[in-house]
Amino acid sequence: AAQGVARSAFGLQGQKCSACSVVYVDEKVKAEFIEKLVAFAGKLVVGDPRKAETFMGPVYGDATVGRFQAALSEVEGKGKVHFGGAALGQGFANNYVLPTVVELDGPGRLTRDELFMPFVVVRGFDSLDAAIEEGNDIPYGLSAGIFTNDQKELRHFLDTAEAGVLYANRASGATTGAWPGAQPFCGWKGTGVSGKGGLGSWFLPQYLREQSHTIMTK
């Protein structure tokens, strides 16, 4: 789970529509999960994107740097920064920032807005229902994922999560990795409006017209 979240949250510097920006974790394993997520984030190489070993390059422009710093300010008094929260330094420009893991005591702008930067919020919950309820109370709904060995939990998540692209137990990317053309890629609510997209069976009819041919033969 920690690997899947890290890859989704920090891949492409978090600057993609399906990036994971908030994680809802069972309180019983929250401390262990954060420890493993921080350990994974600490192994990611930030630097020159032209080098093969680099996982994260720069974020886009001064505006993103400003949003990154503003997000860190919002955490003060409301939670804790577990990893990152600073520029890389080492002679790199200030838009090279570290992958950042924070924990918040309650929901807010950072759990509801699209962040588009390498910044992930962890929230602890006592029940799956409560986690899904808060997750659904977001104006967007492109992708979501779950890690569980309980088939009832998985079925409940698939039936109730309000997002167009759902994943389960995907270590290579908790909320990312759809194959366009093979899987529909469509959001609900503020992400896509209609929920019909990505070359799926509900999408193509929007571009088609019916026509009947009647040909008389002798």
Q: Write down the pLDDT at residue 186.
A: 80
Q: Is 8 a domain residue?
A: yes
Instruction: Give the pLDDT confidence of 78-107 residue by residue, as tens digits.
Output: 999 999 999 999 999 999 999 999 999 999
Any domain includes 214 = no
d(CA 127, CA 131): 6
Residue 213 binned pLDDT confidence (cut-offs 50, 70, 90): confident
**Domain that includes residue 18, residue range:** 1-207
CATH number of the domain encompassing residue 72: 3.40.309.10
Within a domain: 217: no
Known catalytic membership, residue 20: no
Q: Could you tell me how many residues make up the chain?
A: 218
**pLDDT recorded at residue 218:** 80
pTM: 0.88
pLDDT at 40: 97
C-alpha triplet 173, 175, 180: angle, nearest 5°: 90
Among 3, 12, 15, 17, the active-site one is 17
Given this model, what pLDDT does residue 84 score?
98
The reply to whether 67 falls in a domain is yes
The amino acid present at 116, given as its one-letter code, is F
Q: Is residue 216 part of a domain?
A: no
- Would 212 be classed as within a structural domain? no
Domain presence at residue 144? yes
In a domain, 89, yes or no: yes
Model pLDDT for residues 159-196, shown as the tens digit of each residue: 999 998 999 999 999 999 887 667 777 888 888 755 56
Query: Nearest Cα to 93, choosing from 56, 61, 70?
Result: 61
- The model's confidence at residue 199, banded by pLDDT at 50, 70 and 90, is low
Cβ pair 175, 8 in contact under 8 A: yes
Domain count, the chain: 1
Tell me the CA distances in angstroms from 197 to 68, 91, 116, 183, 194, one per residue in order. Answer: 31, 43, 22, 10, 8
